[in-house]
Amino acid sequence: MLRVLALASVVLLGIAPEGSQAISIYTGWERHALVGSDIRLSCSFFSWRFVSDDVSFSWSYRPDGSRESIAIAHYAGGEPYTDNKGPFKDRVEFVGNPKNRDGSILLKNLDLNDNGTFTCDAKNPPDIVGRPSSVRLLVFEQLPIQAGVITGAIIGVVLGLLVLIVVIYYLMRFLVARRVFSLSVSKHGKKKKEGSQQRQIKV
């Protein structure tokens, strides 16, 4: 067991450059958009170091049903570079702020053929060891109603019915109690009136 751990340590040390630490990269999980619309795909990273002047971002795109990825955007040396001949020619723009660890891109005039997986990779030298993060884009002619919205509506209706039942229950109790009180007062007044009449007859 110790030999295995030792070998693993040697391998990791051999992979990671001296003085570097792991970098964590974050994107969304899944995004939905309409045909003809624009969408911003966010990418950020966490690193223990300040943002380096050599910070870089790279975006690639893999269409649904394909195994090959296409580079569509890159930021390095303080300059953005975007796709000028691929599927996103003139339709992708680097809109992030690298100094704030933001490597977002903007996709324009979306089409149904844009469905696929977008992967972001970031480097903040000397922290360059990290796993790229991916976000799936689904383009629709009309956005579908999400299951969460339906579930929320059902829960809202059920809660509304429960509140209505409780209100009706307490209203009925109030009306019954008021009726009983009215009858009690009426009966008591009637007995009092009869007693007064009997005393007048005796006199």
Summarised one tens digit per residue, pLDDT across range 30-43 is 999 999 999 999 99
Same domain, 160 and 99: no
How far apart are alpha carbons 105 and 89 in whole angstroms?
A: 13
| Residues 133 and 158 grouped into a single domain | no
Same-domain status, 74 and 118: yes
Q: Is residue 198 part of a domain?
A: no
- Residue 93's domain is classified under what CATH number? 2.60.40.10
Same-domain pairing of 116 and 184: no
182 with 128, same domain: the answer is no
How confident is the model at residue 189, as a pLDDT?
Answer: 61
Closest CA to 45 of 125, 152, 143, 145: 125
Looking at the structure, tell me whether residues 172 and 91 fall in a common domain. no
Looking at the fold, whether 156 and 122 belong to one and the same domain comes out as no
Residue 14 belongs to some domain of the structure = no
Residue at 119 is within a domain: yes
Does 125 share its domain with 159? no
pLDDT, averaged across the chain: 82
Q: Could you state, in chain order, the average pLDDT of each consecutive group of 10 residues for the chain (203 residues)?
A: 37 45 92 96 95 96 95 96 92 97 98 97 94 97 64 74 84 78 67 57 56
Same domain? 118 vs 187: no
Could you give the CA distance from residue 39 to residue 42 in angstroms, rounded to a whole number? 10
Please identify, among 100, 117, 140, the residue that sits at the C-terminal boundary of a domain.
140
Concatenating the DSSP letter of every residue in 27-60 gives: E-SEEEEETT--EEE-EEEE-SSPPPTT-EEEEE
Q: What is the pLDDT of residue 56?
A: 97
Q: Which helix (H) or strand (E) holds 76?
A: strand 70-76
Residue 132 belongs to what domain range? 20-140
- The number of domains in the chain is 2
- Note whether 45 and 122 are same-domain residues: yes
